Structure formats: C-alpha cells, structure tokens
Structure 1
C-alpha cells in the first residue's frame, strides 16, 4: 500500500529506489548504515527527503576487503 498523497519533496522507499536506480533493499541498507535518514512515516512505511536521497546516492560507500568495485 502506498501513501494516498505524500507532501512534495518526499519519497517512499520504492520511489527513492527508482530515483536512484537501485533496489528498495538498498535504500533500507543505506538507512541501516546511516547514509540516509528517514524523514517520517511509520517504521513499516517510512518516507525520505529528496535531497537526502540524492546525497546518499552520491555518498562514498564503504567497501569491504575483496568486494568488487565498479572502477575496474
């Protein structure tokens, strides 16, 4: 179930994922890793500020040893 109407400048998890070209699970992962903060909603239906989503998309992501990189 999506929000009937969301204030301008806010995105649901699905909309944020589509805007960044990633899966919704990636958005949840960014929240877990503190790269993105929820702007409100409920624990099961959060929403995010557009500016925060774009900042999280361009933020340097920490890597683990042996992890593939897109630079190759």
Structure 2
C-alpha cells in the first residue's frame, strides 16, 4: 500500500470514522447521502476537511443529523 502525505486541515477516512464514532462503511454512507464530501486523496484513500467533519459531528451530537 502506497502511503500519501495528507494535506494540513484534512483527515483520513479512518480518522473521520473514529471522530464520528462510526465505521468506514458509515463514512462511505455519509458521502453517498451527500452529508460529507471528499476533499482530496484518492478513491481508495479519501481525505475529508476537518471543518466538515467537525460540523457534522456537532450536528450529530445536537440531534440535527442522523
């Protein structure tokens, strides 16, 4: 597996899943439903903006999202 250097201000799918308390499949489902957008990386190793993940986490904790 080729390692990529992630851009500042971004998270890997694994980091995103950990922060949100979901599985990688859950992260893929959020992307599929349009609740989270990829912001870089590759199709197999996507990155997500920290701001987007933080906002989604806050909304989920406040009961505003699934």
Q: Same fold (TM over 0.5)?
A: yes
Structure possessing the higher relative contact order (Cα contacts under 8 Å, 6 or more residues apart)? 2
**Alignment match, 1:36:** 36
Q: CA deviation at 1:2?
A: 7.3
Q: Does 1:60 align with 2:35?
A: no
Q: How much is the aligned-residue C-alpha RMSD, in angstroms?
A: 1.8
Unaligned runs of 5+ in 1: 62-72
Unaligned runs of 5+ in 2: none
- Higher-helix-fraction structure: 2
**Alignment match, 1:5:** 5
- The TM-score with structure 1 as length reference comes to 0.71
SS in 1 for 2:11: strand
The count of corresponding residues between Structure 1 and Structure 2 is 61
* Change in CA separation of 1:20 and 1:2 when aligned onto 2, cut-off 3 Å: farther
User: Which structure has the larger Rg?
Assistant: 1
- The TM-score with structure 2 as length reference comes to 0.76
